[in-house]
Amino acid sequence: MTSNSKPLRSTALMQLTLARLREFYRQPEAVFWVYFFPILMVVALGIAFRNKPVERITVDVVSSEHAQTILDALQKDERIVAAIYAADECQQRLRTGKSDLTVAAEDEKKVGFTLDPTRPGSVLAQDLSNRMIQEAAGRSDPVPTTTSEVTEPGGRYIDFLVPGLLGMGLMGGGLWGVGFAIVDMRIRKLLKRLVATPMKKSQFLLGIMFSRLLFMVPEIILLIAFSWYFFGVQIYGSWLSIGFLVLLGAAEFSGIGLLVASRAKTMESVSGLMNLVMLPMWTLSGIFFSYERFPDIVQPVIKLLPLTPLNDSLRAVMLEGTSLIALWPQLILMFLWGAVTFAVALLVFRWND
Amino acid sequence: MQFAIRCQNLVKTYRGKPPVEAVKGLDLEVLPGECFGVLGPNGAGKTTTIEILEGLLAPTSGSVEVLGMSWDTQADAIRQRMGVSLQETQLSERLTVRETMQLFRSFYRSGMTVDEAIELVALSEKANAWVKNLSGGQKQRLAVATSVVGDPDILFLDEPTTGLDPTSRRQLWDIIRSFRERNKTILLTTHYMEEAERLCDRVAIVDSGRIIAIGTPRELISSLGAEHVIEFMTNSDLGSSDDGASFDWLKSLPSVDRIESDHSHHRIIAGEPHAVLPALFAELKQRDLRLANLTTRHASLEDVFVSLTGRHLNEN
Ligand SMILES: Nc1ncnc2c1ncn2[C@@H]1O[C@H](COP(=O)(O)OP(=O)(O)OP(=O)(O)O)[C@@H](O)[C@H]1O
Ligand SMILES: [Mg+2]
């Protein structure tokens, strides 16, 4: 009747991990959202930015006897969309943002610009229009310049975006996956039932973390494969490094997820908390655009957020082929986030009610 | 180890406004190998008490020993030897019966095999079914299976049969009995007096956080003074209205210990029904009263509860 032998498969950690994996894979809706949402995101953003047409600059010319000359000059640059309107109409269009700039030829030798200087598009439009008008009137530059454009893979927006989305997926997956699972078990009194067994609490939490790491692998592979196939996004660094980063990132955010869910009693409170935790990272940690744009004074704070080192190192490995050794500060920071939140979660966790 | 469970002066006050005194000084001594029942109405403090004994709730004051050990110092050792089924646990719906058992088995150093435990609760046919697709009774049996898979020395069951139909209830009783036969200690709560009577060696009747009676079912019932209950109704169709009429004469029938009359509904607690009944019939005939719905039965724990509190166990 009694048996003491324990193959690996029937150790508590293994069983806890397996149970979580099974529960997850047996919920097709959950699988769909976890695996396909990031892909939908890549598709949507990838299409939005892929063949991003040259940015259009809309310039209105106030109707006058010299208007046509100006129009011809402006239309030499393909980026400019110019047309002639009556003065009051030009004003109206500028005010409502339909045009970036209004050009009025007061006489043959004098041209006036009207613009909203707070709009970057307007300033650009003024520079460009001015140049076109001057060139048409015979200006020659004292220093000849040439321009070449970067369009090869690696330097495009989609290349920047995909690592950010990987990071975002790891963050969302870790927090939502772990947080909801825990609060659900708490509501069902399953946690209470489990602590009445000799189960080690740390193993329970580790099991949840491990199962998260395992769910993440297909998600990430799918996302990378998809962006490679459809958008030609390439990985310059080693696959092994990417794999390591994905596991570390998943562990980091499951630790944070455990902490966020450690005391929450309802789904509402845990969702609120998770949104609160993720919100700053969605905007600050460089998912959709580089965080270098934020003021210098907040840079140190941004760099300490859990998602920033993950996004930075994913980008470094994917886009620049950086080795993990060079990324040690980021790796240590991520490890600390994961380990410290795990330890604190274990301390403050609410098991019994 | 003298006692399987021993608690002294157990008090639990839930914080809040106002605070709830769920357990108000409770002493309990359960012997090894005993099946002990805690019987009481809703809100009596049964779950609170059992969860304190299981180490899931901290008592406000009082001492608890389980298998001679204390929750403060030997929690892990107690858990290895204890099995628990809570009043309300929803096991994971998307695991099969076998997977659920494998999970729970993995927590214990030694115990039954998963298949033995499934067999024990007669769920072999459902071993590969998702928990979600089990009936209420099957879920309860699975919950009991998870509590015995570590082959515990002591089993805590909080209302294991509440909400089950008579067949499922009987199945669970058999499981509990088979466990009891292996000389293990069981502490169960219930608000079915019949369950306590049939299953338990000793019973504590709890009301409002206090034990109001404790003993073997026989002892408790015989504390009523007599062991039979005769219930009947009188019918006043024949014009002899019994409204306001006195039925005190019932008391003077032979072998009657006590009577309770409520309008035309009467209850006689008596030692020997064969002595009471002929005299009762004769008296009724003489008084021109008609008899309806006569029943006689053994006194039950329910009667004990009623006589102690003036209330019925399952009334709300
Ligand atoms: N977490 C809690 N916070 C506040 N009060 C509580 C809590 N749990 C139980 N109570 C109160 O304590 C009292 C005893 O509850 P308990 O659950 O122990 O009763 P019970 O005998 O198990 O009842 P039932 O037969 O309905 O399961 C009740 O008045 C209940 O409202
Ligand atoms: Mg209860």
Q: Does residue A164 lie in a domain region? A: yes
What's the confidence (pLDDT) of residue A75?
Answer: 85
Q: Are residues A228 and A276 both part of a single domain? A: yes
- CB count in 10 Å sphere of residue A77: 16
Q: Do A4 and B116 count as a contact with CB atoms less than 8 A apart?
A: no
User: Does domain B5-221 sit in CATH 3.40.50.300?
Assistant: yes
Q: What is the model's pLDDT at position A150?
A: 60
What does the pLDDT read at residue A125? 87
**A5 within a domain of the structure (yes/no):** no
| For residue B209, pLDDT beyond 70 | yes
Residue A144 lies in a domain: no
pLDDT of residue B239: 39
User: Which ligand neighbours the alpha carbon of B48 most closely?
Assistant: 1
List, as ranges, residues 104-133 from B with C-beta within 8 Å of A.
104-113, 116, 130
Residues of A near B (Cβ–Cβ under 8 Å) read 1-4, 6, 10-12, 14-16, 18-19, 22-23, 26-27, 188-190, 192-199, 352
* A107/B285 Cα distance (integer angstroms): 131
H or E segment at B154?
strand B154-158
- Nearest atom (ligand 1) to Cα of B16: 4
Classify residue A61: in a domain, yes or no: yes
Residue A344 confidence (pLDDT): 96
Protein fold of B225-298? Alpha-Beta Plaits (3.30.70)
Query: Which of A136, A165, A192 is where one domain is finished?
Result: A136
Q: How many CB atoms lie within 10 A of CB A272?
A: 13
Answer for the pair B145, B91: CB distance below 8 angstroms, yes or no.
no
Q: Is there a single domain that holds both residue A338 and residue A232?
A: yes
Last residue of a domain, which of A84, A108, A136?
A136
Closest to B162 (Cα-Cα) out of B191, B121, B205: B191
Residue B175 has pLDDT above 70, yes or no: yes
Same domain? A61 vs A45: no
The predicted model scores a pTM of 0.80
Q: Say if residue A39 is in the same domain as residue A80.
A: no
User: Across the interface, which of A4, A22, A26 has its CB nearest the CB of B110?
Assistant: A4
Give the pLDDT of residue B109.
92
> Does A336 map to a domain?
yes
Closest CA to B188 of B14, B201, A193, B168: B201
Place of tokens 């719905």: B293
Could you tell me if B1 lies within 8 Å of chain A, comparing CB atoms?
Answer: no
Contact A197, B93 (CB under 8 A): no
How do residues B231-266 score in pLDDT, each as one tens digit? Answer: 888 875 433 445 556 777 888 888 888 887 777 788
> Are residues A97 and A212 both part of a single domain?
no
Would A17 be classed as within a structural domain?
A: yes
Predicted complex ipTM: 0.86
Residues A233 and A326 in one domain: yes
* Same domain for A105 and A218: no
At residue B26 the predicted structure's pLDDT band, cuts being 50, 70 and 90, is very high
Number of domains comprising chain A: 2
The gap from C-alpha B20 to its chain's centroid, in whole angstroms, comes to 23
pLDDT computed for residue A45 by the predictor: 77
Task: Give every CB contact of residue A306 below 8 A, 6+ residues apart in sequence.
Answer: A171, A252, A253, A256, A281, A333, A334, A337
Q: What is the pLDDT of residue A1?
A: 46
Q: Which pLDDT value is given to residue B238?
A: 38
A84 lies in which domain range?
A: 57-136
* Cα B289 to Cα A318: distance, rounded to the nearest angstrom: 99
Low-confidence ranges of chain A (pLDDT < 50): 1-3
Same domain, A25 and A64: no
Whether residues A256 and A306 share a domain: the answer is yes
Q: What is the CATH number of the domain that holds A102?
A: 3.40.190.10
Q: Taking the CA atoms of A272, A274, A275 and A277 in sequence, report the sign of the dihedral they define.
A: positive
pLDDT in tens, B91-113: 999 999 999 999 999 999 999 99
B255 or B215, higher pLDDT: B215
> What are the boundaries of each domain within chain B?
5-221, 225-298
Please count the residue pairs, one from chain A and one from chain B, whose beta carbons lie less than 8 angstroms apart.
83
Residues A124 and A237 in one domain: no
Residue A36 falls inside a structural domain: yes
Residue A103 shares a structural domain with residue A238: no
The percent of residues above 70 in pLDDT, for chain B, comes to 95
Which residues are near ligand 2, the ion (C-beta closer than 5 Å)? B 46-47, 87
